[in-house]
Every structure is written in structure tokens, then in C-alpha cells.
Structure 1
């Protein structure tokens, strides 16, 4: 999901499983970069295929930044004892577009609500500590349309500003696509103001 125009932190790759044991119960923490709720649901379903004998697979995710989609699932554990502490670690690590799951194998000893909260929190934390976290800058693609007569002027502006060209079509009617940070789209549009023949369309 497009995380608005703000920079955000996320995982570059899946992390885990990282194993954690508490009073004979085994907890496996895993985390994934995701960009949609559908992808998150599919990943949880895949975990059930991989760990069909697990007692619980609890999870939380946060997708997007401006109006984030948030979900916490206790999967039959006492209310707020699993999904919420997992989500608390997503918040603690300040992550977006991420799914964190904790797989539990019951060991025969009840942990109580307080013990469950601590165990799920610790499993999520250990997993994220092993994750590769990066700060991402949301990008947009602006498509420049112009005639061949304006080509030199357009290329000069691109070179002066070091804009990133991702596609170009050169003919009587030319087109160049630029990839730029979302927060800089207005500056890019203004840069081509001196060439009135240039049209700029946002391709997302």
C-alpha cells in the first residue's frame, strides 16, 4: 500500500522464525513486509500450512501511514493477550507495511494473561530485532510530454536537478518518465515551468 508522502520504516525481507520458550511453551516469531491486507491474510494462511499442528498463530499488522490499516488477532488466546502486545512491538520499532506473527506450541503449563502478554511481546521483539529495517521514501512517477524542439531544454533541466529518468521515448512527440520522492513532486513541476510546452502527468 502507498504509505502517503512521508518517509517510513519497514522490513526489507522476512525475519525469523526466532524461537523463544516460556515454561515449556514454544513461541516462534516471524515478520514480513506486506503492502496489502490481502497479502497479510495470505501469509497467515501460509503459516497454518507450514505449522498445521500449532496451538495458536497470533498476529498484528499495520499497513499504510496516513490512514493505516491495523489488525490485531488473538487466535483464541485471552482477549488482548497476544495481538495487542505484538502490535505494541510494531509501534515500538516504528514500522509500517509489516505483519508480525507469533506461532505458539502449548507446553502444558498455563501462563496466565500477564505471562502471555510478556511472552508474545518478547517473541515479537526478538523477531524484529533480527529483522533488516530500512527507511523508505515513497516515490511517484511523473510523465513529461513535449515536442522534439523542447528536448534540449528538458534534458538540461533534468541534468541540472539530477532527476531520475526511468523511461524515455524520443520521436516527434517525446515522453520521459521521472521517478521522484512524492513530497518533491511540486518542486519537479515548477522546475519545468520555463518550458511551457511540457505537459506533466502523475502516473502514481
Structure 2
């Protein structure tokens, strides 16, 4: 299964009752990448009143991680409406930021919700997208003798080794296509107790 992801950075702007809303949308495959875009917006527009944001990682219907922030606006009037627009658009691996310069006229909760969702809608409507294979994140622990078995599986099924650590066993973080997950389950079942695998969160570090 594939899903739409952000393919480039885009920006747009609108003015509502003298408040200036600058919308950004950009690719972000991890929480760190998303927050780097937020930091850039804060750096580029340091005098703005608010830098509200939302991001969604992975497949939109079952995101591996999603978050939103109102940055001082009334709770639920900025970040969450923007996240709702991302989900409605069906785009994954994307961050949306709305930079607001207050124009002196209060918009009220309903007005803010419409302004921030409108900013997200406007910028996402211009966002170039690409199709990406839906992936499953896995945390795997295995005996040293089976590390090459796992690596060979990744080569055969277009998977990725995201991270690896060595202690008394080999600890690996993998990303494999959803379509390959049943085959990996079958592989781990055939190896018995010498390998353990569970769904992971690529946005979190190893324990």
C-alpha cells in the first residue's frame, strides 16, 4: 500500500482582519525533522506572535506519530485544526506551520479555528506530493548468528536497517514494507526463541 507524502517545501500567506498568517508545509519523516522546521520558522520570523504547528508521520490513516501545538493560542484553536486538515488531505510525513502576526483585532475561538485550518488548507493545496510505500517499524532482538538472516531479508524485501546496537544480543530497528510483514512474521516463527520482534515507533529511541 502506498500513501501521499510531502515532496517539497511550500509557503503561502493570507491576511484575516489585519492578522497576517504565513503558512509553511514541508517534508518531515521524523519528529526531529518536523521540529527543525518549527525552529527555522521561529528563527526566520522571531517577532511573530505565534508559531503554531502540526505534523503527521507515516500513513495518515494509522500514523506512526502525530502532534500539534497551539503556541499560546487558546487550546484547540490552532494546532489541532491544522492536524485535522492534514488528515483530511491524506498526506503523511509532513509538517505544517502557521506563523501569525497579530493585527490588533481579536478573532475569537471560532475565528482562530477557521483562520488556522484555512492557512493549512491553503498551503497544503499547493504542496507537491509523491507516493511512498507504507512501512512497518519493528524492534528486533536476535542472536548474533541470525543478524545476517535479518539483513538478507531486508535486502530481499526492500527494507531498511534504521539502527543497530550490540550487547549480549543484537538489537535492530527495522522498517519494512507492510506487504512484507507477514513474511517476516513467518521467518521469526521459524527461528523460535532465538529472535524476538515487536512493532516499534521509529520516532522513539531505543530503551
Q: Does 2:19 correspond to 1:7?
A: no
Unaligned runs of 5+ in 2: 137-152, 159-175, 185-207
**CA distance in 2 between partners of 1:125 and 1:137 (Å):** 24
Cα pair 2:56 2:63 within 8 Å, conserved: no
1:135 to 127, 131, 145: 131
| Superposed counterparts of 1:54-69, under 5 Å | 54-65=48-59, 66-69=62-65
TM-score of the superposition, structure 2-length normalised? 0.65
1:123–1:142 distance in 2 versus 1, CA, 3 Å:
same
Post-superposition shift, 1:182?
A: 2.4
Query: Greater helix percent: which structure?
Result: 2
Partner of 1:168: none
Partner in structure 2 of residue 169 of structure 1:
none
**Which is greater in Rg?**
1
Give the alignment partner of residue 21 of structure 1, picking from 15, 18, 37.
15
Aligned to 2:35: 41
Please give the TM-score of this superposition, normalised by the length of structure 1: 0.66
Q: How does 1:1-204 map to 2 (within 5 A)?
A: 6-16=1-11, 18-65=12-59, 66-138=62-134, 142-143=154-155, 182-183=177-178, 185=180
**Equivalent position of 2:161 in the other structure:** none
- Deviation of 1:134 after TM superposition, in Å, equals 2.1
Q: How many residues align?
A: 149
Question: What do residues 122-176 of structure 1 show as CA deviations (whole Å, max 9, x unaligned)?
Answer: 11100001110222124798436xxxxxxxxxxxxxxxxxx99xxxxxxxxxxxx
Query: How far off is 1:43 after superposition?
Result: 1.3
3-state SS of paired residue (2:121): helix
